[in-house]
Amino acid sequence: MNATIPGFTCAPHSHLGETRDVFRRGTGPAVIVMSEIPGITPQVAAFATKVADAGFSVWLPQLFGTPMRPISAGYLASSLARICISKEFSVLASDQSSPIVDWLRALAREAHGECGGPGVGAIGMCLTGNFGLAMMLNAPVIAPVLSQPSLPGAIPGKRDALHVSPAEIAAAHDKIDNSGARILGLRFEGDFMCPGSRFERLRREFGEAFEGIEIADRHANPQGFGSAHSVLTTHLIDKEGEPTRAALDRTLAFLHAQLKP
């Protein structure tokens, strides 16, 4: 039996010999929402709901974890352990993306074929944070959102690495130059998993086509799990005047500008 997320439908999607559940909600241009570790937590589902309610067709693939299971230290550790030994994720790779990105590209092509519009949005968080950038190759992604992109971690010598290949970087430039694509990035200033040098590299690489929003750690939701990290989910304070709420609003406005011109 498929897992359920309130307000979402669920159907299996098969691409490249791999079948995964994809949760869907809303109508309009397609936006692929990729969960952070440990999985589609209630906070991730709440964020996806906000995107759908803003006028988009959200496609939320089940990549790891258990849908709607609350975050905890044990759940986080077990999910990460499974990912580290999975062939679909290359967590230490600097200049290549994870193999699962090919499946996500195929999903983006299918979503665009069904939903239409000028292109597709792709929102990644933490472990999936740079996947939207990689998905600009061979898929109609023109609105990637990189929220606290954390691969390949903060390992010495890789702090500015982007977990994408040279071909994927070239494809991003082509989309920027010829399809009007833009890139949005979000992070907390003190987030050791997503070093500031990573955003500096994105600015050097893409110039004005990259918009980076960096928020002081003191503005993170103190009720969130762990230190300041998850801008759009766990550490969001969804109140007017809060910097994380402003980041959420900017994310939705970015999607509108790119996908509903």
User: Looking at the domain assignment, is residue 198 inside a domain?
Assistant: yes
Identify the domain containing residue 223 by its residue range.
Answer: 9-259
Give me the tens of pLDDT residue by residue for the chain, a chain 261 residues long.
468 999 999 999 998 889 999 999 999 999 999 999 999 999 999 999 999 999 999 999 999 999 999 999 999 999 999 998 899 998 888 899 999 999 999 999 999 999 999 999 999 999 999 999 999 999 999 999 999 999 998 888 889 999 999 999 999 999 999 999 999 999 999 999 999 999 999 999 999 999 999 999 999 999 999 999 999 999 999 999 999 999 999 999 999 999 998
User: Looking at the domain assignment, is residue 220 inside a domain?
Assistant: yes
**pTM (global) more than 0.95:** yes
**Encoding tokens for residue 132?**
């939207």
User: Looking at the domain assignment, is residue 2 inside a domain?
Assistant: no
Size (the chain), residues? 261
- Tokens 């709607």 correspond to 68
Number of domains in the chain: 1
Residue 46 is inside which H or E element, if any? helix 42-53
- Tokens 């679909």 correspond to 88
Residue-level pLDDT at 1: 45
Residue-level pLDDT at 2: 60
Asked if residue 127 lies in contact with residue 86, where contact means CB atoms within 8 angstroms, the answer is no
User: Looking at the domain assignment, is residue 1 inside a domain?
Assistant: no
Residue-level pLDDT at 154: 81
Residue 24 is inside which H or E element, if any? strand 18-25
- Cα torsion through 256, 221, 23, 85, rounded to 10: 120
User: Looking at the domain assignment, is residue 3 inside a domain?
Assistant: no
